[in-house]
Amino acid sequence: MLSLDFLDDVRRMNKRQLYYQVLNFGMIVSSALMIWKGLMLITGSESPIVVVLSGSMEPAFHRGDLLFLTNRVEDPIRVGEIVVFRIEGREIPIVHRVLKIHEKQDGHIKFLTKGDNNAVDDRGLYKQGQHWLEKKDVVGRARGFVPYIGIVTILMNDYPKFSYAVLFLLGLFVLVHRE
């Protein structure tokens, strides 16, 4: 019944209304991209918002928590700080706590991480032969979070058909909504 109502609404639209709705949808998408780029500039992080995808940081963060990140170059990395880092060869960043810091005499800093809910440190996750992370590996540092709001992202990753349904419904809403 829903699909028939949608088709009737689209048929009743004249070309100008349809173009307006498509333009409106394009403006929403471009606004979201501009907000994302603005957040990247403000926070200094390539990914200012991330979703926790595993339970490795429980009880501090749970699967589905939304983290807000900053990555100021001038801020030193400290033991106990929660960082989001990317490992070469892996697409998805990891959220873990800094366990140890190793500072060389020239001021170059390397550090070791570990998930709060993991029994061992992250050396097994790093690429072959890598024993420490460097500042260049850091995507950002956790500055705040909203619990469980990112569960939709997890559902969309785990169930691709769900993501298509959500995108279809959002597009349908934009096209049919006339205000």
| Residues with active-site annotation | 56, 96, 122
d(CA 41, CA 50): 16
3-state secondary structure of 66: strand
Whether the CB-CB separation of 28 and 174 falls below 8 Å is answered with yes
Convert 48-96 into a string of H (helix), E (strand) and C (coil): CEEECCCCCCCCCCCCCCEEEEECCCCCCCCCCCEEEECCCCCCCCEEE
